[in-house]
Chain A
Amino acid sequence: MKRIFAIAKNTFRELTRQKIFFIIVLFGFAMLFISFFLYPLSVGEQSKIIRDFGLSAITFFNTLLVIITGSALLHKEMDKRTIYLVITTPVQRREIIIGKFLGLFMIVIINILGMEIFHQILIFFTDRKFDLSMFIALYPYIFEIGIIIGILLFFSTFTGTLFSAFMGFAFYVIGHLIESLKLFAEVSKSVFLKIFSYCIYYLLPNLEHFNIKNKVVYGEIPGREYFIFSTSYGLIFIILLLYTSSLIFEKKEFK
């Protein structure tokens, strides 16, 4: 456990030193700030716009941050050849995967919290009150981002940085469009296509399960059952991805 935290801490520190990290975070904050100035144009819908744009800026820039930094997480170690140093120590390979995951995951959570606090200040300036339900809207997103990091790590174990980033982005898009596949399965007349579509639908991560932003903005907060199921779904998917990534990484030969 200590070794995992040491790797996580190191990953965390390394990421904060990257310029790209600061650029994306800065853009995120800038987007949040710009949304504040849209309100004279919004004719009566200031509150809604500041909430929508704020949540979108937070999720969009953090997803971007994860895809860009997460795809190079393992490859950097390999390129710099520091991985050789690590694998000669008693550190197990799966500990590297979990440590890397936790390092990036922690930095994203801190970033989300920081951006949301800033978002709350903007909401306060518009409505003269805070809206803490925005934190609830972002809670499931944490699992979405965890799954994306898991996917990036999974592909990083056997492919290059660019391909991992591409796959991370592809899964993000597919994850939010996957519900159309269920519709396709429902209307499909071919039994084979129906079964195939349903299999893909249930096997691939359905990221729409973590998207409650559109409802929370209207004050519709899902019940306890939703949070139990979405948390379990997110955690199990993350564990599965980390487990399979570890299996592949353990068999990887470093030349």
Chain B
Amino acid sequence: MKKFIYILLFLLILVNLSYRLEKVRSIKEKATEILYLPRGKILKNIALDHRNSLADFFWLQFIQYYGYHLQTDRKYPYLYPILDVLTDLDEKFLYAYTFGSVLLAHDAKDRYHAEKLLMKAMYNDPYKWQYPFWMGFLNYVFFKDYKKAAQFFKLATLEPDAPDMCYRFYAFVYYKKLRNLETALELWKYMYDNAKSEYERKTAEWYIKRTIEQIHMRNLTRILRSFIKKEGYIPSSLKELINKGYLKDIPEHPFGGYYYIRGDSVYSKIPKK
């Protein structure tokens, strides 16, 4: 019995110490987070035949790093360095390239590295349609560089296993060469359907809603302007458009907000939660 109490006592002390250490270390860790990241080419040699597992370890680090900064300062200075090391170790880590480039473009607003990462993917794994497709996607949706987007969508179509979607986007962007909300909506829907993680799905969902909101605003403004032209005055509300037969009904706001008239345009308001 005495021995059992001693062991229990030791265990209690250890648990207490561990808890205290956890607190002390967490303060330090926040300050010294990723001060040094070894070069991928060196790690590749050190990892011997366990390169993929080490890449997976960096992937877990990457997710934690991203998650932590997403909830705190929303600054991601090490996002690309981690992805660079990770893809040096595992040159075919498709999801790290695609998901990583979206995060770089969307969250870090770092076009240079988002494109650099996808260029690296295309160099390492040149027969995948996904990389030029995502390059086209980023250029179309985030960077609004339609010429470049068309070039990369075309590149994606050259791969034998490229889906029809690549041809559609290429044709659309190439011939129209202008921003089209319906195309953007289709791209985001593709991203939503093919999302592998909850975060990716939620991001796509948000952009889908936002694009729908913009489509509604564009269409309502078009109708409003035709009303003003024919009736000669600005209506007080959108309901007047319905009463006069210009509009069947007001479309449902994707974010739960409402549309209103200001001048000769229709705007959107999202109530604060």
Residues on A facing B (Cβ under 8 Å): 38, 41-45, 48-49, 52-53, 55-56, 59-60, 172-173, 176-177, 180, 207-208, 211, 213-214, 217-218
Chain B contacts for A173, CB-based, 8 A: 48
Interface residue SS majority, chain A: helix
Known: A49-B59, A56-B53; 16 extra A-B contacts, CB below 8 A, are: A38-B60, A42-B56, A43-B63, A43-B196, A43-B199, A44-B99, A44-B196, A44-B200, A52-B53, A55-B52, A56-B50, A59-B49, A60-B50, A214-B51, A214-B90, A218-B92
Q: State whether A41 and B63 are in contact (beta carbons under 8 Å apart), knowing that A177-B45, A214-B90, A218-B92 are contacts in the complex.
A: yes
Alpha-carbon distance between A45 and B98 when the two chains are bound, in angstroms:
12
Q: B60's closest neighbor in chain A, by CB? A: A41
A-B contact pairs, 24 of them (CB 8 A): A38-B60, A41-B60, A42-B56, A42-B60, A42-B63, A43-B63, A43-B196, A43-B199, A44-B95, A44-B99, A44-B200, A45-B196, A48-B93, A52-B52, A53-B56, A60-B50, A173-B48, A176-B49, A177-B45, A180-B45, A214-B52, A214-B92, A217-B52, A218-B92
Q: Quick one: which of B64, B92, B95 contacts A45, CB cutoff 8 A? A: B95
Alpha-carbon distance between A230 and B206 when the two chains are bound, in angstroms:
51
A161 CB to closest chain B CB (Å) equals: 23
Chain B contacts for A213, CB-based, 8 A: 49, 52
Q: A51's closest neighbor in chain B, by CB? A: B52
Verify A53–B45 contact, CB threshold 8 A.
no
Q: State whether A41 and B64 are in contact (beta carbons under 8 Å apart), knowing that A48-B56, A49-B56, A49-B59 are contacts in the complex.
A: yes
B134 CB to closest chain A CB (Å) equals: 15
In the complex, the number of residue pairs spanning A and B with C-beta atoms less than 8 Å apart equals 62
Alpha-carbon distance between A174 and B90 when the two chains are bound, in angstroms:
21
B71 an interface residue at 8 Å Cβ cutoff? no
Alpha-carbon distance between A172 and B196 when the two chains are bound, in angstroms:
37
Alpha-carbon distance between A211 and B90 when the two chains are bound, in angstroms:
14
Chain A contacts for B195, CB-based, 8 A: 44
Chain A contacts for B50, CB-based, 8 A: 56, 59-60
| CB proximity to A under 8 Å, residues B36-62 | 45, 48-53, 55-56, 59-60
Alpha-carbon distance between A218 and B124 when the two chains are bound, in angstroms:
14
For the side of the interface on B, what is the size category? 20 to 34
Please list the 4 inter-chain residue pairs (A to B) with the smallest Cβ-Cβ separation, ordered nearest first.
A44-B196, A56-B53, A176-B48, A44-B197
Alpha-carbon distance between A208 and B44 when the two chains are bound, in angstroms:
13
B74 CB to closest chain A CB (Å) equals: 18
B90 CB to closest chain A CB (Å) equals: 7
Verify A53–B63 contact, CB threshold 8 A.
no
B181 CB to closest chain A CB (Å) equals: 28
Alpha-carbon distance between A211 and B53 when the two chains are bound, in angstroms:
13
Alpha-carbon distance between A173 and B89 when the two chains are bound, in angstroms:
17
Verify B56–A52 contact, CB threshold 8 A.
yes
Chain A contacts for B52, CB-based, 8 A: 48, 52, 55-56, 213-214, 217
Q: A177's closest neighbor in chain B, by CB? A: B45
A53, A59, A213, A214: residue with the most chain B Cβ atoms closer than 10 Å: A214
B7 CB to closest chain A CB (Å) equals: 23
A9 CB to closest chain B CB (Å) equals: 31
Alpha-carbon distance between A173 and B48 when the two chains are bound, in angstroms:
7
B49, B56, B195, B200: residue with the most chain A Cβ atoms closer than 10 Å: B49
Verify B200–A208 contact, CB threshold 8 A.
no
A169 CB to closest chain B CB (Å) equals: 11
Chain B contacts for A44, CB-based, 8 A: 95, 99, 195-197, 200
Chain A contacts for B196, CB-based, 8 A: 43-45
Alpha-carbon distance between A217 and B197 when the two chains are bound, in angstroms:
20
Q: B63's closest neighbor in chain A, by CB? A: A43
